[in-house]
Amino acid sequence: MSTTSIRRSRDVPTLVAAAREGDHRAVARLVSLVENDDPALPEVAAALAVHTGSAQVIGLTGSPGVGKSTTTNELVRAIRAQGRRVGVLAVDPSSPFSGGAILGDRVRMQDHATDSGVYIRSMSSRGHLGGLAAATPQAVRVLEGAGCDVVLIETVGVGQAEVEIASLADTTLVLLAPGMGDAIQAVKAGILEIADVFVINKADRDGADATYRDIQGMIALGERGAGDWRPQVVRSVANRAEGIDDVIAAIDKHRAWLEDHGQLIRRREARAAGEVEAIALGELRARIGSLRDGEALPALAARVAAGKLDPYAAARELLDGLGK
């Protein structure tokens, strides 16, 4: 199949087969279908289901300027060095752009352009009725289906988006940088609830020790119980590739804890529940929209006004028509 036809194809079996053989364009096309809530998505999900459920999902969030892209880049390098295949989803909760159009994406693409074991893709959820919460896990499924052992989800730490991303990840990293007031912001945003690992990036800067102490103090205050995971705090200087091994070690430690405590399956079931619920809610909202715009209502209303049909029976008929 030619490049152009893969890019435009909606032939699901062909796309899934190509993606599983490592065709980057097929993977990109499938993520685009996810972004746009394409009618073919259920078929895509059905074809991918048997190939999913085993990848490690890592979330990475933080305020603008803390070094998320650079850190992601170095993590990808370290994971590839272990011989594992890795996919990156850069999720922008607000941007109208997508499909690899953002600058950071293209820069990073160049770093790993010749490596067929890396997929990098930015995505938005503007076209997806279920929003970020429904779209992102479908994109994770695409990357898993394409053979990724690890999927990194990167998102800017604003509002609800980072909470949603954290709920999708096995392990969530929260990046901070010294002197940005992040520690205080973090408490405000309730970030302690979502962070499994705090990464103090740019740790060569003034104030790194103060930030470290702030975070440790915050963790001590927020500690829940003996059986709970105690968030790790590590330091890095991502643009000099320093401290990345410590980040990887903290992720591995958390992963082992999850498995030892039966939490991995619990997290994944909670994630699947959120995913199914978001799809179902999106579908119900679409039905409400069709109700308002539909043509069936006036005809039913005329029968009700004439006393030939009661309004509950009419509503049932209307909803049955939407359920198909």
Q: Phi/psi at 198 (nearest 5 deg)?
A: -95, 130
**Which of residues 42, 159, 179, 190 is near a second copy by CB under 8 A?**
42
Nearest distance, CB of residue 91 and a second copy, angstroms: 18
Name the residue nearer to a second copy (CB basis): 42 or 181: 42
Q: Alpha-carbon distance 206 to 227, whole Å?
A: 35
Of the candidate spans 5-13, 26-34, 94-102, 306-314, the one that interacts with a second copy by CB under 8 A turns out to be 306-314
Helices 12-20/131-145 angle, 10° precision: 60
289 touches a second copy (CB under 8 A): no
281 touches a second copy (CB under 8 A): yes
Q: At a CB cut-off of 8 Å and minimum separation 6, what does 313 contact?
A: none
301 touches a second copy (CB under 8 A): yes
Nearest distance, CB of residue 143 and a second copy, angstroms: 15
Name the residue nearer to a second copy (CB basis): 113 or 288: 288
**Which of residues 150, 288, 293, 295 is near a second copy by CB under 8 A?**
288
Count interface residues toward a second copy (CB under 8 A): 53
Binding pattern to a second copy, positions 48-67, x when CB under 8 A?
xxxxxxx-------------
262 touches a second copy (CB under 8 A): no
Q: Alpha-carbon distance 54 to 57, whole Å?
A: 9
Contact 160, 167 (CB under 8 A): no
Of the candidate spans 4-12, 30-38, 218-226, 309-317, the one that interacts with a second copy by CB under 8 A turns out to be 309-317
163 vs 13, 28, 61, 239, 303, CA distance in Å?
A: 34, 25, 10, 27, 48
308 touches a second copy (CB under 8 A): yes
DSSP secondary structure letters along 262-295 = THHHHHHHHHHHHHHHHHHHHHHHHHHHHHHH-S
DSSP secondary structure letters along 117-186 = TEEEEEE--TT-TTHHHHHHHHHHHHHHHTT-SEEEEEEE--HHHHHHHHHH-SEEEEEE-TTSSHHHHH
Q: Alpha-carbon distance 214 to 207, whole Å?
A: 10
39 touches a second copy (CB under 8 A): no
**Which of residues 103, 158, 184, 280 is near a second copy by CB under 8 A?**
280
Q: Which 7-26 residues touch a second copy, going by CB under 8 A?
A: none
Nearest distance, CB of residue 184 and a second copy, angstroms: 34
Residue with tokens 């980057």: 24
Query: And the tokens for 153?
Result: 């989800």
Beta bridge mates, 118: 86
291 touches a second copy (CB under 8 A): yes
Contact 55, 150 (CB under 8 A): yes
Residue 238 three-state SS: helix
312 touches a second copy (CB under 8 A): yes
Binding pattern to a second copy, positions 110-149, x when CB under 8 A?
---------------------------xx-----------
Interface residue list for a second copy (CB under 8 A):
41-42, 45-46, 48-54, 137-138, 265, 268-273, 275-277, 279-281, 283-284, 287-288, 291-292, 297-298, 300-302, 304-316, 318-319, 323
